[in-house]
Structure 1
Amino acid sequence: MTDELNAPLGLNAPLEPRPAPRRRGRAVVFAAALLGGACLAAFAPTMRDPQAGRPVAVARIETVEPPAPASPPAEHVATESDKRADEIADIEKRSGVKITRIGGAEAPGALVIRLDEQHTALAPAPDKRVMEKGRHGPLPKIGAGGEKPMEIYARPAAISARLPAGAPRVALVVGGVGLNAQLTASAIDELPGAVTLALAPYGADPESVAAKARDRGHEILLQAPMEPYDYPRENPGPHTLLTTRGAGLDDLRWLMSRFSGYIGVVNYLGAQFTADETALTPTLTDIAGRGLLFLDDGTSPRSLVASLAPRLALTAARADVAIDAGASGEAVEKALTQIEALARRNGQAIIVAGALPRTMARLARFARELERKGIALVPLSALASRVEDKEARAGKWK
């Protein structure tokens, strides 16, 4: 008989999982899951940090381009500074005077030393001895002791000892100074002091321009506008001297009062005016009576200045060559060659030119080259014809 008491223990028991072991396994799995979650939560920050919490030093890495290979040195091009330095070296060589610079430095590009001008000082202007009060301002006059503005304000004609006695002489007169600031500065600073400058009566401050020009050693002229043949289509400017005003001198005296220190007057245009004896005579008489000289710019073949000057006791001169305002480079070169030839043939010559961009540099070079060619550059006052004292005493101007 088989029953629960007699059957072998466990042989006929059903093969079911035991509940106790099954509950412990689940508990273990659940506990492991909880522990794993806690570990993940604890180490989550370190898992996002690739260094896992270890000390870290941060450094910026920048990409630097390698230096470009050095290019071959460019061919040297002479600059204006180089030219000025060469000019100073040439002065040292010709004069025998060594220019010593502090620390052995090279000469600055803007420095030009002109030895011929260091000893040329012009008399201060205005000089009260040769000045009187006029309606429009100060006017030149002959002083009580016979002093004349054309003598007091003139630049001495110093001839270089390197030139032979009796060397031909050239006077260069540059007009139109005072109208354009840049050209005015170039004329005053770049041209040698022996060049005579003719100042226009217009501009913001002609007195200041006159003072600067004279400070650099230039004797100066008043450039007076005069009536041309096609006036008023071609109008030289306010207070132009006109033939229709007869012997009236108010315009002339307005022009004369614009600045001081000039040695004389030069015409600007004026082909009609200088050909009219009725209008020209009182003008030249007034100029002579004030101790001034007159320069005819030589542009009008009908001018009467040369014929009137002796009987008016006027110190006068006429330009031999005039460079026209619209002259080409070829025409300028031809004029300069012509003036050299005239100076050698006649012993002296006068050339007139305008302060224009196309001619300024060439005129400066021409003026500085004259001595090397055996020709002396002199101020206009050295070439103006002087009248005899007996003629001067006979001159009537009022």
Structure 2
Amino acid sequence: MQPVRSDIDRPLGRNAPQGPRDRRPGWRDILLTLCAVAVFAASGAIALRERPYRQPVPVAVSEPHAAPQPERSSAPRDATPSITRLNPAAGSPGESVVIVRDPSALGQSTLLAHLPDPELVEETEFGPLPVRDAAGRRPFDHYARPWSGARGARIAILIGGLGISQTGTQEAIRKLPPEITLAFAPLGNSLTRWMQTARREGHEIMLQVPLEPFDDSAGGSGRHMLRAEAPAGEVLRELHWNLGRITNYTGVVNYMGARFTGDEGAMALLMEELRQRGLAYLDDGTSARSLAEEMAREKGVPFAAADTVIDGERTRDAILDKLDALERTARAGGFAIGSGSALDVTVDTVAAWAAEVRKRGIELVPVSALADDPEED
């Protein structure tokens, strides 16, 4: 007698009902097929787009009425999109075109940051001088470091005196984050090499120009200094000598200069030259008598002023007190600027502070981001 087998003992497929199977698709089959078709169609549409899917493109829209040209803003420079309104085209009355440009597309490529743009250089007996190009483009715009454009509290720090000490310059570039703006002294050594290193590391740079102080008892406290009562030709020759020492900078910052910056004629001459060359001016905050802001506004030069010198007292605690004051100023007014020198204690203190200040909701920005630019739309 054969034992009775349960269903689990039967070979698969044995006792299955015979006859034709029903091959009509069920609702699940139909749904899966539709999903596959939709995915394939979407993939094909993306692949055949004229431009990459995530690439930002200029946006052009029509407005029903022509709009006047926008007034220039005196607000601090930021990275918000610029809007240009073009006059109505012939034969299209009552319409204007609005072009929105992404600011991240402007400026110098990071891969070429250490190289001067040949269109922004004038070759002279003093070396390559910065100059606007044929279209009016400025070194101030091209060499500026990009930033977020956010409207929170912002602080810019300028550290000057680079190029004087080889070790100090190397340490400043190595330790300071790229958001810190660096200023080179024209009498320094190996300036081109250090400029290129700083630019490769992402720093915006400026050039310090020695200006005549009140106390010059040492008898010419600096070669190639600009003097308030010197003839205009001499002032310009000394300025050009300084400007030709490096390239790729956004503007100049005074080194000393209480006498010069307080002289209206001397500052008018300086600012007119900076305007023509497309450079900014930063007042380092060391002289209460400076006419720099007034003359920069009159001549149309991008201008910024330091709120405080952070290392007047060369101790870590004193520098931190000044940095704390800058934070309070930035929270109250939106932004603040501090200036200092490439001293070991200054560099170390600023580097440590910069690593922490972001956690407190402060954005570090380059000096150019906080400049009052008369030419900004």
TM range, smaller chain: 0.5 to 0.7
CA deviation digits over 1:89-145, x for unaligned, max 9? xxxxxxxxxxxxxxxxxxxxxxxxxxxxxx965645211111111221111100011
Question: Comparing both chains, which one has the higher relative contact order based on Cα–Cα distances under 8 Å and sequence gaps of 6 or more?
Answer: 2
What are the residue-to-residue correspondences of 1:48-59 with 2, within 5 Å?
none
Aligned equivalent of 1:291: 278
Alpha-carbon contact 2:313-2:319 (below 8 Å) kept: no
User: What is the CA deviation profile of residues 138-171 of structure 1, one whole-angstrom value per residue up to 9, with x for unaligned ones?
Assistant: 1110001121101111111136xxxxx5320000
1:304 maps to what in 2? 291
1:255-266 matches, within 5 Å, as 255-266=242-253
Q: Letter of the aligned partner of 1:144 in structure 2?
A: A
| Cα displacement (A) at 1:185 | 0.7
CA 317–132 in structure 1, closer or farther in 2 if over 3 Å, else same = same
Residues 337 and 326 (structure 1), Cα distance of their counterparts in 2 relative to 1, 3 Å cut:
closer
Matches within 5 A, 1:168-207: 168-207=153-192
The runs of at least 4 aligned residues of structure 1 exceeding 2 Å deviation read 119-125, 232-236, 323-331
Partner of 2:132: 142
The within-5 A match list for 1:120-269 is 123-158=113-148, 166-233=151-218, 235-248=220-233, 249-269=236-256
Structure 1 window deviating more from structure 2 (124-133 vs 141-150): it is 124-133
Of the two, which has the highest radius of gyration? 1
Do structure 1's residue 319 and structure 2's residue 306 form an aligned pair? yes
Structure-to-structure mapping, 1:109-128, within 5 angstroms: 123-128=113-118
Distance 1:350 1:230, change over 3 A: same
Query: Comparing both structures, which one devotes a greater share of its residues to strand?
Result: 2
Runs of 5+ consecutive residues of structure 1 not aligned to the other structure: 1-118, 160-164, 391-398
For 1:149, the aligned partner's letter is P
Matched residue type, 1:273: F
Name the aligned partner's letter for residue 191 of structure 2: P
Question: How far apart are the structure 1 equivalents of 2:227 and 2:239?
Answer: 10
- Contact residue 129 and residue 147 of structure 1 kept, 8 A: no
Instruction: Note the C-alpha offset of 1:234.
Output: 7.1
In the alignment, residue 141 of structure 1 is paired with which amino acid? Answer: V
In the alignment, what sits opposite 1:361?
A: 348
- Residues 47-102 of structure 1 deviation map (CA, whole Å, 9 limit, x = unaligned): xxxxxxxxxxxxxxxxxxxxxxxxxxxxxxxxxxxxxxxxxxxxxxxxxxxxxxxx
1:186-237 per-residue CA deviation (whole Å, 9 max, x = no partner) reads 1101100011000001123211111111010001000011111111427442
SS of equivalent residue, structure 1 residue 212? helix
RMSD: 1.8
Contact 1:122–1:154 under 8 Å retained in 2: no
Q: Which segment drifts farther, 200-209 or 212-221? A: 200-209
Secondary structure, aligned partner of 1:243 = coil
Q: Report the CA distance shift for 1:342/1:120 in structure 2 as closer, same or farther (over 3 A).
A: farther
Aligned partner of residue 319 in structure 2, secondary structure: helix
In structure 1, give the amino acid aligned to 2:215. Answer: D
Question: How many correspondences in the alignment?
Answer: 267
User: Is the contact between residue 246 and residue 279 of structure 1 (CA under 8 Å) also seen in structure 2?
Assistant: no
User: 1:327/1:262 Cα in 2 relative to 1: closer, same or farther (>3 Å)?
Assistant: same
Normalising by structure 2, report the TM-score: 0.68
- Contact 2:114–2:200, Cα closer than 8 Å, also in 1: no
The alpha carbon displacement at 1:321 in A equals: 1.2
